[in-house]
Amino acid sequence: MQQTSDKPRMKNDIEKLEFSTILASSIHDMKNSLAMLLGSLADISSVCQGEHCSQKISKIRHEGQRVNRDLIQLLTLYKIDKKRYYLNIEEVEVYDFLEDIREEYAYLLADHGVEITLDCDDGICGFFDKELVYGVLSSIVNNAYQYAKNKILIKVKHDNDYLILSIMDNGAGYPKQMLHDPVAKTTPSHFDTGSTGLGLYFAAQVASLHRNKKRQGYIQVSNNEAKGCGLSGGCFSIFLP
Amino acid sequence: MKLWTLKTKYILIVDDFAGMRTMLRNMLSPFRPEHIAEASNGAEALRQIEEHDFDIILCDYNLGPGKDGQQILEEIKERELLPYSSIYIMTTAENTSEMVMGAVEYSPDDYLSKPFTKEVLIARLKKLIKRKSSLKMISQATQQRDYEAAIRLCEQQLEDKPSNRFELLKIKTELLLRINDYDAVEALVKPILEEREIPWALLYLGQAHFHRQDFDKAKFIFEDLIEDYPNYLFAHDWLATLHRETRNYKEAQKVLEKATEKSPKAIKRQQVLAEVSFENEDFDTSEQSYKRITRTGKNSYYISPDDYSGLANVYLQKGCISDALDTISDMRQEFKKSEPIKNMKSHINEAFLYHRLERDKDTHRCLDTVTDIFIKEPGTVTSADAVELAKLCYALDRKDDGNRFIQFAIKNNHDNQDALQEISEALESIGISQDEIDALLKSREEVIEINNRGVQLATSGKIGESISLFVKAATAMPENPVINLNTAQSLVMFMNKSGPTQELLAETKKYLDNVTFNGKPSEKYRILTQSFQQLSERLDAANIR
C-alpha cells in the first residue's frame, strides 16, 4: 500500500507579497475605516447638543485626522526610502489649494476659537506635488492650532524663483532646540517630545524632492517675535523651486 | 446673494459599501439635492448612467469584484455617455499620484482621498461646477469638432489673464495638435517652457516634432522626460511609438516593458506590448502580455476578441495547438453575449484561426455565420476586415461572398482614392485579374447614382423620400462619409421645416458620429454640426416652455 503524506503541508507556491503591497493595502483598509469613523462622528456632532459634548467630539475627529495623516506619511516615507515615490508636479492654483486646507480645519478651529487667515493673491500659481504638500501643510496647521492662542496665518509669496508657503501662529513659538539643532529638521531624533519631529522630517523630505532647474526645495523653522512679518509665534516655511 | 444649492443636480453615488453611500448622502443633504441615485457596483452604475444624464458622479475607485472606478470612467468616456458638463469625482483610499501620471487613459475631474470632510467635498464641488461652466463654450465647440472656434475661445479667455491660465494653454495646445498645426504648437509651448519645465508642455512639443518627422528632436525630448519623470507614462508611450515609426521594434518593446511594469492594469499599453513583442518574435513576452490582458482586463471596455486571437496566434507559433484551440473557445464564450461588433469580430477571428489550422470545415462554418450576420447588419464589419475576409473567401472558393465583402469596402470608400488603390492592390496580390477588379470597382458608380438621386429628392422638396433613401444607403455603407453627411443633412432639412424631436436628433447625431477626420473636419461637417446644435437648443427651449 502506498503511503500518502499524513499531513497537508503548507506549500511554498504561495505568492509572497512585497512589503510595500502589504503596507499599502493595510493602509487602504485603515483609511476606509477612518473615513467611516470620521463620517459617523460628523453625523453625531450635528445632532449633539452642549459645549462639552461637541468639544469632545471635535477632539476625537482631530485625532482621527491625525492618524490618517500619519498613515499617509508612513506610506510616503516608505516609498521615498525605497525610491518608489514619483513626484506628480502640476500647476496648482495656490489660493484654491490653501482654501481646501482651511475648509478641512474649519470645524476644528471654530470649536477652539482659532481664526485662520489666508494672505495670498488670487491667481498665484505654483508647481508642486499637490498631495504631498497638502500632507505637509495640513500637519503643520494641525500642529500650529494646538499652540496658537487664537490666530493662524498662511502667507504666500514668490521670492527668488521660489514659491514660499508659510504658516504662522501667535503662540509661544517653536522650542529652542528645534531652531538651533539642524538635525531636528532632517531626522526624527526627538520622538519623546511628540510627533513634531517626524512631521518636520516628512516636510523636509517632501521639500527636497521638489527640484527645478538645479534648485532644490527646503524648509525653514523660525520664531517670529522680532520680525513683525506676520504673527509673533512659530513660523514654518516651505520653499518650493 | 443666492444660496448655493444642489437642488437641480442629478447625482450618482457609487460605492460598494452601503455605509459609505449613506455618509456621502448625508454630507450633501444640507444643500437639498432632490435627485440622488446610488449604485453598489460597476454594472449597476453603468446601467444608471445609460439611462440618465448625471450632473455629478461620485465614484469609489475600489468597488470589489467587477469594474473599478477607473474602468467605469473609461467606458462611459469611450461610449460618450458622459456629457461634457458632467463632473466625475473619484473617491479613493489609495494614493492617487500613481493613477494620474499617465497610467490611465482618462482622468476624472478630481480625486478625493478618503477620509475627507463634508467641507472639503462641498468646496471641491463648488470649484468644479464653476470651472466646468467657465470652460463650457470651449468644450461645446470641441465636442462639435469645431476646433478652430474652440481655439479662438481659449485665446479670448487667456486675454483676461485668468487664474487657470495653464489649464487653458494646455487645452489650446491639445486643440492645435488635433488640427495638425505643429508650428503653432511649438510657438505656443516654447515660451511656457522658458517659464517652467512642465511635463505636458514637453510632451506636446515632442509630439509636434514627431509629426513633422523630426525624429531626433522628438526622441531627445521623450527620453529626457522619462529620465526626469520616470512615472510619466505618456512619455513612454510616445517614445515607443517613435521607435516603431523608425522601425526600432526591439527598442519599442523595451520601453513598453518598462511602462507596463509600472501600470500592469492599463490594458491599451499592454495590448501594444503584446503586438510589438509578437512582431519581434519574442513569443514568451507576447504570451505573458496577452494572458495578462485576458485575465486582468476582463472588466475593461478595451478588451477585444483580437486579444484572444493574438494569444491563439502565439500558441500556434509555439506549436501548442491545444492551447490555441482552448483560447479560441474562450474567445467564443467571452464575446457570445457582448455587443454585436465584438461578437462579430470573434467569429471573424475564429474563421482566420481555423484557416491557419487548416481546419476547412470549421472555417466554412465560421464564414457562414459571419456572412449571415453581415447581411443582416453590415455595420458590424469594418472595411479593413471586409478586405481580409474577401481574401479568405476567394481562397476557399467562396467567390460570391468574396465579392460581397469587397464591394462593401469599395462602397464605403467610393470617394477615397488611396483606399481604393489599397483594395485593388490587395486583390492583385491574390491573383484577381484586372478585368475582374474593374468590374468590382463599378460598384462605385452605384453609390454616386444613389447619392445624386438622394440629393435631387431633397432639393426638390421630397425630403421624406430622400431620408429613407439615404438611411438605407448609410446602413449598407456605414463608413462612407459622403453618404453619412448627406443622411444627416436630409434629416436636418426635415427638422428645420417640421421641428426637431429627440429621436430625430439622436438619429442625426449617429450619422454625424460615423464620419471621421484626420485633423480638421470638413466645412460641410462644421455647418451641419452648427445646425444640429441650433436644433437641439430649439428643442430644449421648447421643452422648458
Look up the CATH architecture of domain B10-134: 3-Layer(aba) Sandwich (3.40)
Cα nearest neighbour of A212 on chain B: B197
Domain count, chain A: 2
For residues A147 and A231, the answer to whether their CB atoms sit within 8 Å is: no
**Final residue before a domain boundary, out of A81, A101, A127:** A81
Name the phi and psi angles at A235, rounded to 5. Answer: -135, 120
Residues A182 and A122 in one domain: yes
Q: b or e along B212-245 (b: 16 or more beta carbons within 10 Å of the residue's beta carbon)?
A: eeeeeebbebbeebbeebbbbbbbbbbbbbbbbe
What pairing do the DSSP bridges indicate for beta strands B87-92 and B56-60? parallel
B120, A86: Cβ pair inside 8 Å? no
**What is the model's pLDDT at position A73?**
85
Distance from the B211 Cα atom to the nearest Cα atom in chain A, whole angstroms: 26
Q: Is residue A13 part of a domain?
A: no
What is the tens place of the pLDDT at every residue in B375-386?
999 999 999 999
Q: Which residue has the higher pLDDT, A233 or B544?
A: A233
Q: Is residue A8 part of a domain?
A: no
Q: Is residue A7 part of a domain?
A: no
**What is the model's pLDDT at position B96?**
62
Residues B545, B538: Cα–Cα separation, whole Å:
11
Q: How far apart are the first and last CA of chain A?
A: 77
Look up the CATH architecture of domain B449-544: Alpha Horseshoe (1.25)
A35, B120: Cβ pair inside 8 Å? no
Angle between helix B417-429 and helix B399-412 axes, rounded to 10 deg = 160
Position B429 pLDDT exceeds 50: yes
Q: A194 in helix, strand or coil?
A: coil
Q: Is residue A12 part of a domain?
A: no
Q: How many residues are there in chain B?
A: 545
Where in the sequence of chain B do the CATH 1.25.40 domains occur?
449-544
Residues A37 and A113 in one domain: no
Q: Tell me the chain B residues in contact with residue A34 when contact means C-beta distances shorter than 8 Å.
A: 114-115
Residues forming beta bridges with residue A125, ordered by sequence position: A93
Residues forming beta bridges with residue A169, ordered by sequence position: A152
Q: Is residue A1 part of a domain?
A: no
B119, A39: Cβ pair inside 8 Å? no
**What is the model's pLDDT at position B490?**
96
Residue A5 pLDDT class (50, 70, 90 cuts): very low
Mean pLDDT on B111-129: 87
Residues A37 and A136 in one domain: no
Residues A73 and A163 in one domain: no
Output the CA torsion B532→B538→B539→B543 (10° steps).
Answer: 160
Selecting from A31, A107, A123 the residue whose C-beta is nearest the C-beta of B114 gives A31
- Considering chain B, what percentage of its residues have pLDDT values greater than 90? 72
Mean pLDDT on B316-329: 95
Selecting from B19, B163, B199 the residue whose C-beta is nearest the C-beta of A122 gives B163
Residues B219, B244: Cα–Cα separation, whole Å:
12
Is B19 in the A-facing interface, judged by CB distances under 8 Å? yes
CATH number of the domain encompassing residue A35: 1.10.287
Residues A163, B106: Cα–Cα separation, whole Å:
30
For residues B272 and B296, the answer to whether their CB atoms sit within 8 Å is: no
**Final residue before a domain boundary, out of A61, A81, A101:** A81
> What is the span of the domain harbouring residue A37?
19-81
**What is the model's pLDDT at position A182?**
45
Is B18 in the A-facing interface, judged by CB distances under 8 Å? no
Is B197 in the A-facing interface, judged by CB distances under 8 Å? yes
Residues A94 and A201 in one domain: yes
Residues A28, B58: Cα–Cα separation, whole Å:
18
Q: Where does B196-232 have alpha helices with state H? A: 199-211, 215-228
Residues A106 and A32 in one domain: no
Closest CA to B302 of B544, B516, B79, B465: B79
Selecting from B23, B123, B231 the residue whose C-beta is nearest the C-beta of A36 gives B23
Residues A77 and A93 in one domain: no
Residue B147: Cβ within 10 Å count: 21
Residues A103 and A23 in one domain: no
Q: Is residue A10 part of a domain?
A: no
Q: Tell me the chain A residues in contact with residue B122 when contact means C-beta distances shorter than 8 Å.
A: 103
Residues A94 and A150 in one domain: yes
**Final residue before a domain boundary, out of A42, A65, A81:** A81
Cα nearest neighbour of B163 on chain A: A123
What is the tens place of the pLDDT at every residue in B16-45?
989 889 999 999 998 999 999 999 999 999
Is A35 in the B-facing interface, judged by CB distances under 8 Å? yes
Q: Which of the residue ranges A91-100, A101-110, B19-28, B204-213 would you say has the lowest mean pLDDT?
A: A101-110
Q: Tell me the chain A residues in contact with residue B114 when contact means C-beta distances shorter than 8 Å.
A: 31-32, 34-35
CA distances from A114 to A172, A237, B207, B253, B342 (A): 15, 20, 51, 58, 61
Residues A229 and A124 in one domain: yes
Where in the sequence of chain B do the CATH 3.40.50.2300 domains occur?
10-134
Residue A40 pLDDT class (50, 70, 90 cuts): confident
**Mean pLDDT over the full length of chain B:** 91
What pairing do the DSSP bridges indicate for beta strands A215-216 and B87-92? unpaired
**What is the model's pLDDT at position A4?**
45
Q: A122 in helix, strand or coil?
A: coil
Indicate which of A62, A120, A131 best probes the interface with B, i.e. most B CBs within 10 Å of its own CB: A131
CATH number of the domain encompassing residue A206: 3.30.565.10
**Mean pLDDT over the full length of chain A:** 77
Residues A171 and A213 in one domain: yes
What is the tens place of the pLDDT at every residue in B434-474?
999 999 999 999 999 999 999 999 999 899 999 999 999 99
Position A186 pLDDT exceeds 70: no
Cell numbers placing B22: 449613506
Residues A177 and A74 in one domain: no
